[in-house]
Amino acid sequence: MSNDEDLSLIEKPLALIVDDEQISRTVLDTMLESNYQCISVNSGPSALTWLANHHPDVIILDMNMPGMSGLEVCRHIKLLPEMQDVPVIFVTGSDSTEIQDACWESGAADFALKPVVASTLLHRIKVHVQNKKRIELLNELTYKDHLTKMHNRYYLAQEVPNLIKQVIRDNAKLSAILIDIDHFKGFNDTYGHLAGDNCLRQVASTIASVLRRPSDKVIRFGGEEFLVLLPYTDESGCEVVARILVESIKALNIDNRVSKHNVLTISAGCQVVNAAIEPIGLETLISDADDALLEAKSLGKNRYVRFASRQLSSAG
């Protein structure tokens, strides 16, 4: 099997090209376009803005840019938990020991010398992308629930603390939404466990489709419970997401004769913690969201409640 055939087995990877010179971006795009989806930006800040909502498979980064240098950009990228597995390859005009050390210290995976030799750059990118895919597969087996394909409790214990540390460093807010499928035991008893499994998959997929940012996480917390974590999200943002989730699950129109609505619904409890004024503890965060969830259940289900203020909203 040829190298090209190897690469074709991988869904066309997404490459982010960061260079302040238009001609350099065009050259790199031309080199990569046959095997990669390419997005080009002309500055470090533009790259960080784009990365807030996207997850590339590789980043090609010019080292010398005005304003924010490539090294600064790389250091910012590697502070983002969701970017830890994304290889950054520098394009630089020098291979001095000092430059090489700076590349590695900033978190880069590799570098290519100018003028760029297409075959060399393509080979290096291919190796790093394939390694990333292998790591993703291993993470899939380790950190994902086999039924719903959402993150599992092991991921919650091992990886979410890193997300919390990042939020704390930035003195930002972290929102949690704990979700429970209403009358799920009755649903299973009425329609059978195979229908219950399919229901869990549909609910999980719908929850994931509502979330827009790579940093947002969905975790299968228990049998029919899901935990949504929304870093850098305030109270109003958390409530918007919770409302959309409640409405979206009901809109699936999954038959559930056990419910007074005759369709499947969820209840949700929300909590928001501000790292700037209070410590963020994962257990406390989940416990508070669980208290709000219990109140949502007691008030009739098919709704969300936010902890503390107990501001209530119902999807009807």
- What's residue 201's pLDDT? 97
For the annotated catalytic residues, the residue numbers are 224
- What's residue 6's pLDDT? 47
- What's residue 5's pLDDT? 43
- What's residue 315's pLDDT? 54
Please tell me the least confidently modeled range out of 164-168, 237-241, 245-249, 267-271: 164-168
Q: Look at domain 153-314 and name its CATH class.
A: alpha beta
pLDDT higher than 90, residue 140: no
Domain segments of the chain as ranges = 3-143, 153-314
Q: What percent of the chain has pLDDT over 90?
A: 78
- Considering only CA atoms, give the Rg of the chain: 23
Look up residue 210 and give its amino acid: V
Average pLDDT over residues 287-299: 96
pLDDT grade, residue 314 (50/70/90)?
A: low
Average pLDDT over residues 284-295: 95
- What's residue 81's pLDDT? 77
pLDDT higher than 70, residue 313: no
Name the CATH architecture for the domain at 3-143: 3-Layer(aba) Sandwich (3.40)
Angle between helix 193-210 and 184-191 (nearest 10): 130
Average pLDDT over residues 141-164: 93
pLDDT higher than 50, residue 100: yes
Over residues 261-284, the pLDDT tens digits come to 999 999 999 999 999 888 889 999
